Amino acid sequence: MKVFLDPGHGGTDPGAIAGHGGTDPGAIAGHGEPVIRDGKELFLHEASLTLSIARHCEDRLAAMGVLTVLSRSADYYVPLSERVELANQSGADLFVSIHCNSAQTATACGHETLIWRNTQVSRPWAEAIQRALVAAFPDRKNRGVRTDFEARGIEFKILRETDMAAVLVECGFLSNEEEALWVHDHPREIGEAIAAGILEQAGMSLAA
């Protein structure tokens, strides 16, 4: 089995705020302001958090013999069209894009998994990943598997144009300071939970 992991954003696209300027290229905790912890300023950018989560997911999958390909391995920009092309040329069985969410309200929270138009090839993978996130983090809000983003005028090129089963995982809201800090503190656990869902759907038992 081969999985294409896509850490969202990167490089010149470190993240921005949903609903600001009519686009959502990414998310920055605190709406661009630092989050304060123990008197220190933390700038929590989506691009760096998603790369860390993807790396931990990759490690767990590799430990189980799953082949992985990453759209980026460091903090650099990869256009959406190139991510799609890389995925389609990789021979992967599954495409997993990893993101952090953002909202105009600071109280929005939780994790969700998105698929394009309720495709039957992608839904089982999305449901397995979402189950694994819920099992790993029962105290976080479960926003479920979603397809309603198209009705809101959002069209995910990476979900529409990839040739294999494709899901996009939103790991938490950086516009919510508490949740932003939680994501910052748990990249390994989040990455491993995503891997657990992939392995469950693939019929592979988890490593100890």
- Name the residue ranges covered by the structural domains of the chain: 2-201
| SS3 of residue 82 by DSSP | helix
In tens, the pLDDT along 114-153 reads 999 878 999 999 999 999 999 999 999 999 999 877 655 5
Residue position matching structure tokens 């092309």: 85
The model's confidence at residue 87, banded by pLDDT at 50, 70 and 90, is very high
Closest-CA residue to 148 (of 120, 116, 174, 121): 116
In tens, the pLDDT along 11-59 reads 888 553 322 323 344 555 555 566 767 766 677 889 999 999 999 999 9
Indicate the CATH number for domain 2-201: 3.40.630.40
Residues 6+ positions from 84 with CB-CB distance below 8 Å: 157, 158, 161, 162
> What are the structure tokens assigned to 140, written together?
């976080």
Closest-CA residue to 94 (of 60, 118, 64, 126): 126
